[in-house]
Amino acid sequence: MFGYLDGYLSRENMMKIKDWIKRDEGYRNKIYKCTAGKNSIGWGRNLDDLGISEDEAELMLNNDIARCEKQLDVYPWYRYQPEAIQDALVNMCFNMGLPRLLGFKKMISALEKKDYSKAALEALNSRWATQVGKRAQDIAKQIRNGGNGPRC
């Protein structure tokens, strides 16, 4: 990582430069083309030339997992499951988004009854499962185990 954390800029100078760049760039939460035609995001991050670092990707992954968990936690069929089942559902939510996950009505109904074999079958009986292949198999296996046995 670069910047004042490595002693190159004082904290005060870093804040002044940040404010100046923010004013000049503006914030966008989705990818856009900058004036040079480069894919950019945020406060002008040039994705074409710089991309993101592994640390930045890790931070985004952590935030995305926390968002999925928070979205799911309002549903009793999620909240009252063993941790291994919750983990599988967070994985599904991360992969497809909450609206699509909520479309798995038969799987959710089976989870409410703690019928993990049926819930796993319903997860696999979907277009999603054919699209993601092994991922769906792993998630279904974890659901089928009902939180018992080894986790994926």
pLDDT of residue 122: 98
Spell out where 6-149 has E strands.
Answer: 28-33, 39-42, 45-46
51-85 residue pLDDT tens: 999 999 999 999 999 999 999 999 999 999 999 99
pLDDT of residue 151: 52
Q: Is the pLDDT of residue 117 over 80?
A: yes
Residues of the chain above pLDDT 90, percent = 88
CATH classification number, 76-145, choose in 1.10.530.40, 1.20.1250.20, 2.60.40.1930, 1.10.3720.10: 1.10.530.40
CA dist 26 to 18, 45, 49, 68, Å?
A: 11, 11, 19, 28
**Domain locations in the chain?**
26-72, 76-145
| Secondary element (H or E) of residue 151 | none
92-103 residue pLDDT tens: 999 999 999 999
